[in-house]
Amino acid sequence: MQQKMLKLIGASGAVSLMALSAAQAQDRIDLVVMSWGGAYTNSQQQAYHEPYMEMNPHVNIINDDGSANALATLRAQSQAGNVTLALVDMLPSDAQLACDEGIIMSIDHDEMLAAAPDGTPASEDFLPGSLGECFIPQIVYSNIIAFNTEMFPEDAQPSTVADFFDVENFPGRRALQDRPGGSLEWALYADGVNPDDIYDVLATPEGVDRALAKLDTIKDHLIFWTEGAQSPQLLADQEVAFTTAYNGRIFEAQVDEGQPFEIIWDGQVVEWDGWVIPEGGPHLETVLDYLYFATDTQRLADQARYISYGPARASSAVLVDTHVDGFDMAPHMPTSPENYFAPIILDNDFWTDYGDELREIYANWMMQ
């Protein structure tokens, strides 16, 4: 009788273990996270994804490098009623459009995000103007102009946005992104418009014509790039002498590949970048748990150890010190005083209001 009972208990235990294993297998969660790829996604992988997955072994984060087309993808998935993206990294102006269209979730920042270590609420710790109704910033980055130092004499290296437009004194092909943001601002800045006045000028038809006329002066010397990885590659291959780029991409090429690149910090176009949550997306509870972790003070500071983007929290900034390889990150940060002397602060409200129209105008200009 006792042996029978032990067998029964053993069988019952085996069934329980099998059931537990089955439940654990069913509980495995795949989170598809869309971001920008390259050095930026790698910094997220190192600072956010891997530590979170180590703490939560049942969660598997899958990177999708499609953020250049994030808004279109979100619209398509929403219209199809099949939202597969759990989390999306996108620009604030696109996030505002998506928010207005109801295809991403509203954010209660103090409820959903961690406070600073000293108890400061998230809404007061994130940098002024960075939080959006549906947007959680991660980083402060810049669109910049960079050049290959080997393509210019040592005593005649370019240093200003105006030099990018000066093909006589600084010959060579230029690479420009195939979107108007940054390109139109630089054109007006190089044409003498004060950074504080750029968007007032660009809001007029005459201002748009003025920007395009300035771009026309270098059009015969232009190559257009789409993905962030293309610009440093064009520069490394010496297909171009200058390129516009994300500052983190140039940093990666300088540090990891030893490329002879130099950043022109004059007229850097400063912007936020961050997370949005697709409306109707999968695994919401896990997504919220991940976001709470990935946007806290330490995690945002950790990301700056891998890439030269400033953290979007004030409490994180004081923790930024050295790169993971040990060198000082300050000279590489867009927000360092020695680099932040003539910034153009990208106006996301402007691009929300005028973006669709200007993208069409710019696309037509590229094809002419």
pLDDT of residue 11: 44
CATH 3.40.50.920 fits 141-271+332-367, yes or no: no
Question: How many other CB atoms sit within 10 Å of the CB of residue 121?
Answer: 14
pLDDT in the model for residue 214: 98
Fold of 23-138+273-330: D-Maltodextrin-Binding Protein; domain 2 (3.40.190)
Please give the average per-residue pLDDT across 283-293, as a whole number. Answer: 98
Query: 3-class DSSP state for residue 226?
Result: coil
Helix crossing, 205-216 with 183-190: angle to 10°? 80
pLDDT tens per residue across span 246-256: 999 999 999 98
Helix, strand, coil shares of the chain, percent, nearest 5, are: 50, 20, 35
Instruction: Tell me the mean pLDDT in the region 156-172.
Output: 97
**With bands split at pLDDT 50, 70 and 90, how would you rate the model's confidence at 129?**
confident
pLDDT score of 14 more than 70: no
Q: Residue 337 above 90 pLDDT?
A: no
Local confidence band at 2 (pLDDT 50, 70, 90 cut-offs) = very low
Phi and psi at residue 195, to the nearest 5°: -50, -35
Sign of the alpha-carbon torsion through 287, 289, 290, 291: positive
pLDDT, tens digit, for every residue of 58-87? 999 999 999 989 999 999 999 999 999 999
Residue 38's nearest CA partner among 252, 182, 322, 259 is 252
Helix (H) or strand (E) holding 29: strand 29-34
Query: Measuring CA to CA, how many Å separate 151 from each of 67, 74, 163?
Result: 32, 41, 14
The pLDDT score that the predictor gives to residue 321 is 86
Answer yes or no: same fold for 23-138+273-330 and 141-271+332-367: yes
Q: How far is CA 298 from the centre of its chain?
A: 19
- By DSSP bridging, strand 29-34 and strand 87-90 are parallel
In the block, tokens 């200058």 appear at 242
Lowest mean pLDDT among 26-30, 162-166, 300-304, 364-368: 26-30
Q: Give the residue-averaged pLDDT of 89-100.
A: 94
Angle, CA 56 vertex, CA 55 and CA 62 arms, to 5°: 115
Whole-angstrom Cα distance, residue 313 to residue 298? 10
Looking at every residue in the chain, the average pLDDT score rounds to: 91
- CA separation, residue 181 to residues 91, 219, 344 (Å): 11, 17, 11
- In sequence order, the β-bridge partners of residue 142 are 270
The pLDDT value given to residue 192: 98
Vertex 77 angle, CA 50 and 300, to 5°: 30
**The two structure tokens encoding residue 328:** 């000082």
Residue 240 near residue 223, CB atoms below 8 Å: yes
**What is the percent of the chain with per-residue pLDDT over 70, rounded to a whole number?**
93
Q: Are 41 and 50 spatial neighbours (Cβ–Cβ below 8 Å)?
A: no
Average pLDDT (107-132) is 95
State the average pLDDT over residues 104-112.
97
What per-residue confidence (pLDDT) applies to 318?
A: 85
Of residues 3 and 194, the one with the higher pLDDT is: 194
Q: Which helix (H) or strand (E) holds 152?
A: none
Cα torsion 285, 287, 288, 290 to 10°: value is 120
The whole-number pLDDT of residue 47 equals 97
Return d(Cα 317, Cα 319) in angstroms, integer.
5
**Residues 298 and 319: beta-carbon distance below 8 Å:** yes
Coil, strand or helix: which one is 334? coil
Pair 62, 33: CB distance under 8 Å: yes
pLDDT tier, 128 (very low <50, low <70, confident <90, very high otherwise): confident
Please give the C-alpha separations between residue 7 and each of 1, 2, 12, 18, in angstroms, as whole numbers: 10, 9, 8, 16
**191-235 confidence digits (pLDDT tens):** 999 999 999 999 999 999 999 999 999 999 999 999 889 999 999
Domain ranges of the chain: 23-138+273-330, 141-271+332-367
Q: What is the pTM of this model?
A: 0.76
